[in-house]
Chains A and B, each alone.
Chain A
Amino acid sequence: LAKTTQPISMDSYEGQEVNITCSHNNIATNDYITWYQQFPSQGPRFIIQGYKTKVTNEVASLFIPADRKSSTLSLPRVSLSDTAVYYCLVGGGSSNTGKLIFGQGTTLQVKP
Chain B
Amino acid sequence: SQTIHQWPATLVQPVGSPLSLECTVEGTSNPNLYWYRQAAGRGLQLLFYSVGIGQISSEVPQNLSASRPQDRQFILSSKKLLLSDSGFYLCAWSPGPEQYFGPGTRLTVT
Contact = CB atoms under 8 A, between A and B. Distances in A.
A15 interface: no
Contact of A41 (B32, B97, B98, B104): B104
Nearest to A105: B43
A97 B103 CA distance: 23
Given A32-B98, A46-B100, A92-B97, 10 more contacts: A41-B104, A44-B101, A49-B98, A87-B43, A87-B44, A92-B96, A97-B32, A98-B97, A102-B44, A103-B43
B19 interface: no
The B interface, classified by DSSP as helix, strand, loop or mixed, is strand
B90 interface: yes
Given A42-B103, A43-B92, A104 B43 contact: yes
Contacts, number: 61
A1 B23 CA distance: 26
Interface of A: 32, 34, 41-46, 49, 87, 91-93, 97-105
A97 B51 contact: yes
B44 A98 contact: no
A87 B100 CA distance: 14
Q: Tell which of B43, B44, B49, B106 has the most Cβ of chain A within 10 Å.
A: B44
A62 B66 CA distance: 35
